[in-house]
Amino acid sequence: MGVIPYNEKEVKLLARLMRAEAEGDGELGMLMVGNVGVNRVRAKCLDFKNISSLQKMVFQNPGGFEATQKGYFYQRAREKDISLARKTIKGSRYHPAEYSLWFFRPEGGCPGQWYNQSNSGRYKAHCFFVPTRADCPSVY
């Protein structure tokens, strides 16, 4: 049972996304990207009001992920990637991404805000950003 609806194809899509976006940040970095993806399906707010499935989230355009928009979303999902994706779908959350809807990899330090979202922290190469509870209570 997951915190969002899913099927096996979508588990593999999320696993591929996690690998493409954060493989260089290790398993914990990949789990955090998974948190952001699951949160976007849960959100029902901001840019994610019509994102009702993992498939819609993975391929959202505009506002989606660089991996799917810039062509590096091509590697298959490995068993360990699928296992990590299942953890996030089942509700495991990891700081600083546990309530995040956005992340990016800056050249330097993390800005205090990004698209009016507050910085919740950095993990290796990525900065994570959270909405307010008032703007997006379904993420919390």
Euclidean distance between CA atoms 97 and 95, whole angstroms = 5
Distance of alpha carbon 109 from the chain centroid = 20
pLDDT in tens, 37-93: 999 999 999 999 999 999 999 999 888 888 888 777 888 899 999 999 999 999 999
| Phi (first) and psi of residue 103, to 5 degrees | -150, 155
| H helical segments located in the chain | 8-22, 26-43, 54-58, 66-69, 79-89
Task: Give every CB contact of residue 112 below 8 A, 6+ residues apart in sequence.
Answer: 118, 119
Closest CA to 57 of 5, 121, 122, 133: 5
The CA R_g of the chain, rounded to the nearest whole Å, is 14
pLDDT band (50, 70, 90) for residue 120: very high
Query: What's residue 112's pLDDT?
Result: 97
Taking all residues of the chain, what is their mean pLDDT, rounded to a whole number? 95
What's the Cα-to-Cα distance from 41 to each of 60, 76, 91, 130, rounded to whole Å? Answer: 11, 22, 12, 14
Which amino acid is residue 89, in one-letter code?
Answer: I
